[in-house]
Structure 1
Amino acid sequence: MGKKFAFFLLTVVLILVLIILIKTFTFKSIQPTYPTATTLAVSDSAIVHLQQGIRFKTVSVSDRAKPDSSTFLAFHRYLAKTYPLIQQKLRLETVAGYSLVYTWKGKNPALKPVILMAHQDVVPVEKASLPQWKVDPFGGTIKDGKLWGRGSADDKISLFALLEATEKLLQENRQPERTIYFVFGHDEEAGGKGVKAVAALFKTRGIKADWVLDEGGEITKKEIPGLQGKPVALIGTSEKGYLSIDLKVNIEGGHSSMPKTETAIDVLVNAVQKLRSKPFPASFAGSTGDFFNYLGPEMPFTSKMAIANQWLFKPLLFKIYEKSAGGNALIRTTIAPTILQAGVKDNVIPTSASATINFRLLPGTSIDAVFRHVKEAINDNRVQLIKKDAFAEEASGLTSTQSEGFKQLEKAVVESYPGTMIAPYLTVGATDSRQMAGISNCILRFAPVTDLKGMHGLNEHIGVDEYKKAIGFYYRLMKDLK
């Protein structure tokens, strides 16, 4: 009996191993191949234009702070002067005060238009951080073959590269087959009300776009486990949702010399700890599933085997991705306490305490589901939950990798950046493109930059040659637009 069972067990193991190996060896590459495009000659004047553009302090502070009108209007005048053919041949509209919409009419009005996006605004530079900057953050300085300054990576590089490419195409008397709308929001860093107004305007005009391209993904040589050193273009095909919830506790306070067993701060901290101890479930659905389909076959054998056999190795893959903040963000709705407020004096026990918790929602998880999760996790009636609806956004829909927009984008990437692999992925940050959900069901998020340096932080910069390549990328994308 023992021998029969051992033989049975061995047979099961061999069958299991055979299934694993078959799935691994039949997990074939789906990476696209295109010939390398001729390098576009880009004048050094393009570098000067971006330098000058960085010197305009088009800062967004918050959703409640008004933009500096004189700075944004001066920036608009600079664009008009710098790109005369765009000014002459494209129609320009200003929406919500400062957001810009350029319309480049196509030859064939029967074709749906495309929308190419970037944003004018940048985040502030903290005064306390100024001594740590290598250069003036708004100087547009070129040093060590790099262009430094706020906006050089996020996102004036895309705005100026698009305009440079368009101006060059106009110099060559080219006209796209389909209409192109350029949408340059003015407050992406403060909620995106400008592009929201543009989307509303497009809806009133009945505009439906074939596809939309905004920032969000990039080329990375560092971030993909098993593929470090190899360039991978991360193309966002979906975007996480956004929600913040305030937790508020009100309990009678008093003198700090006679503290009660439990204070408002105790209850609040306990609530935050309970919430953090109950994370949302992990999932490889949507864009992350497509990510594995594109990159799994390119991985070292062990990783390839695990990805090809998720029916068996999914728990192991979850553990691997949970180890890093970036990996964890790709597989679950995240929970991040961002603001804590309580007390006014060191010898006074406060009567109230509050915390703001920010959630980035995985596609498939609704705002209502997050609220229910929070309520059940905390399970304390003394903690009041208040949804901050002003910026609440459901997670986006999924753009198909078989869509015409995705295929055109990957072609331009592979032609412009030889040897670069393509990977659909989930964009974890919020972009202006989310406002275009009612305008197109094909929204893509990618900027032609490599491992952004200093975005929202210190010493933001971009390589001069990298910027020239970005111009060439947009030039090919528009020239080959079908």
Structure 2
Amino acid sequence: MAALCGRAVVCSLAGLLVLFVSVLLIRTYTWPERAVRQWHWKEPSGMELMEEEKEQLIEALKGAIRIPTVSFSEDKQNTTALAEFGKYIEKVFPNVFSSKLITHEVFGNYSHLFKVNGSDHTLQPYMLLAHLDVVPATPESWEVSPFSGVEQDGYIYGRGTLDDKSSLIGILQALEFLLKKGYKPCRSFYIGLGHDEEVFGHRGAKIMAEELKNRKVKLAFLVDEGLPVIDGIIPGLNCPVALIGITEKGSLTLKLTVNGSPGHSSFPPLESSIGILSAAVSRLEQNPMPNKFGEGPERAMFEHVASKFVFPLNIVMANLWAFSLVVSRFLAQSSSTNAMIRTTTALTIFQSGIKSNVVPPTATATVNFRIHPAQTVKEVLDIVRKTIQDERVELSVMNSFDPLPVSSHDVESVGYQILQHTIHSVFSGAPSAPAVCIGNTDSRYFVPLTNNIYRFNPVILKKEDLNRIHGLNERISKEALERLVQFYFQLIQNADIDKIPIPHRATHEL
């Protein structure tokens, strides 16, 4: 009798296993292609650059890199360079500055706002954003001087080649080329060039956004810097994938302070201010914020491109209902993917002490958190306090904001569809997917003007390129720069569509 019961249990378990595997395989190999829009209008022509135009584009970026528009802090910027940059773009893009279609204004002395007036005033305008300031860069460890704009082995090197002067030059150069061809847009659009994005954007983009709000401007959509076309960054993806940031993480910068008594190093206290603070920040590093995979748009990202993963990862990604825990733990192993799934903790500044034989009375540390869309500033603060568990450590908020709203990204979203269509056209049919932008951009100030903000950099990035952003030897290939201009050239024309196309099932996925 016991043997019969045992065999029955085994058979039942085997049956359940077969059913489970069948469900996995059916879901994987009948995974639906995403609905995309059929464009019932004449496709605008792409841009084939002549050799002279290619050289013009390359020289435009090189010249921009050579102007050191560095932002050190909110109160310390290279204002001489910022002013020079304004004169530079006026010289390099004469049609943009002289066209009767375009109005130009300056905000905060150095930020630029252009309005390109379209012929159809019934169409809601859109906006393209970029910024002209860069983070500091010292020559040490760079292969070339960071502000030399040197061309080497098919690459242009220099601070800002990826963040964000390439996009700025790309937008203006695309518009310059279009104007030379006699282009007149149907849909009006704005171009905003902020001068202090790297130091919170309070005097540039924020002022522009407030002025547009005062003018009662509403935008159909907005495209700013953000996520790239990734290639080889997520293991198992067998093709480049364009990631479109439909939200961005929030941010919290905390100052941690420990106050003690000064003393001589010959009879130090049992616990110094440095020791107490070191223990506190160590606890923050050793206890990362909770894994939030599946609670934000990052799950949709993997589902959108499930069919692009190699076997057996395609099965896993098409069945996250069963494998989300495994995937989340796998993503946590790499810093580049770990940032997608949780609030990150970065210890950025530690200060204390003035002399080798003096025990300092005070120690301070600055910690920056980039907040996952499933959390808030308040929730992160509560976790920090529980993790440190030491009342001697004072916490003060230097700046903070919650994660941004999630922008629409379905077949009814005209801005998202225009962006997808342009990506598909320019990047040889590369699939795209909604994602979380892990950095912060000037676009957050424009939330009152539109529900549709998309953060995308039209550049293919490989894993080895990621650390170049804000790091050493920042560069962009000449080929990538040309494609970037082609992207904006095409996007501006695609945005002239007057209504959302009819959805249909395609044999490919955008």
**Where do 5+ consecutive residues of structure 2 fail to align?**
498-510
Shift of 1:8: 2.6
User: 3-state DSSP class of the match of 1:418?
Assistant: coil
User: 3-state DSSP class of the match of 1:225?
Assistant: coil
Look up the equivalent residue of 1:107 and give its one-letter code: S
2:134 pairs with one of 92, 117, 122: 122
Aligned to 1:23: 27
Q: Structure 1 stretch 444-453 or stretch 293-302: which is displaced more?
A: 444-453
Shift of 1:227: 1.9
Aligned to 1:461: 475
Once the two structures are superposed, what CA deviation does each residue of 1:251-280 show, in whole Å capped at 9, x if it has no partner?
334332333332222222222232333322
User: 3-state DSSP class of the match of 1:447?
Assistant: strand
Aligned to 1:398: 406
Aligned to 2:6: 2
Aligned to 1:165: 174
Contact 2:423–2:429 (8 Å) recurs in 1: no
Aligned to 1:142: 151
Contact 1:120–1:186 (8 Å) recurs in 2: yes
Distance 2:36 2:61 in 1: 32
Shift of 1:240: 0.6
Distance 1:38 1:263 in 2: 65
In percent, how many aligned pairs have the same letter? 35
Look up the equivalent residue of 1:336 and give its one-letter code: A
Aligned to 2:485: 471
Q: How does 1:192-231 map to 2 (within 5 A)?
A: 192-193=201-202, 194-227=204-237, 230-231=239-240
Distance 1:462 1:278 in 2: 37
* 1:186 is the counterpart of 2:198: no
Look up the equivalent residue of 1:256 and give its one-letter code: S
Once the two structures are superposed, what CA deviation does each residue of 1:326-377 show, in whole Å capped at 9, x if it has no partner?
1110000111221122222222222222221110000121111111111112
Contact 1:104–1:180 (8 Å) recurs in 2: yes
Q: How does 1:256-275 map to 2 (within 5 A)?
A: 256-275=265-284
Contact 1:36–1:414 (8 Å) recurs in 2: no
CA 37–423 in structure 1, closer or farther in 2 if over 3 Å, else same: farther
Contact 1:214–1:444 (8 Å) recurs in 2: yes
Q: Structure 1 stretch 98-107 or stretch 158-167: which is displaced more?
A: 158-167
2:354 pairs with one of 344, 347, 350: 344
Distance 2:270 2:147 in 1: 52
User: 3-state DSSP class of the match of 1:150?
Assistant: coil
CA 50–266 in structure 1, closer or farther in 2 if over 3 Å, else same: closer
CA 36–103 in structure 1, closer or farther in 2 if over 3 Å, else same: closer
Distance 2:396 2:29 in 1: 51
Contact 1:218–1:447 (8 Å) recurs in 2: yes
* 1:41 is the counterpart of 2:49: yes
The alignment of Structure 1 onto Structure 2 pairs a total of residues equal to 475
Q: How does 1:326-475 map to 2 (within 5 A)?
A: 326-389=336-399, 392-402=400-410, 403-451=413-461, 453=465, 454-475=468-489
* 1:64 is the counterpart of 2:75: yes
Look up the equivalent residue of 2:406 and give its one-letter code: L
Shift of 1:96: 1.2
Shift of 1:149: 2.0
Look up the equivalent residue of 1:48 and give its one-letter code: E
Contact 2:223–2:456 (8 Å) recurs in 1: yes
Distance 2:372 2:8 in 1: 48
TM-score (norm 2): 0.88
Distance 2:155 2:18 in 1: 56
1:156 pairs with one of 165, 172, 176: 165
Contact 1:231–1:419 (8 Å) recurs in 2: no
Once the two structures are superposed, what CA deviation does each residue of 1:181-209 show, in whole Å capped at 9, x if it has no partner?
00000111121121011111111111111
Distance 1:400 1:361 in 2: 20
Q: Structure 1 stretch 186-195 or stretch 273-282: which is displaced more?
A: 273-282
Look up the equivalent residue of 1:369 and give its one-letter code: E
Shift of 1:122: 1.6
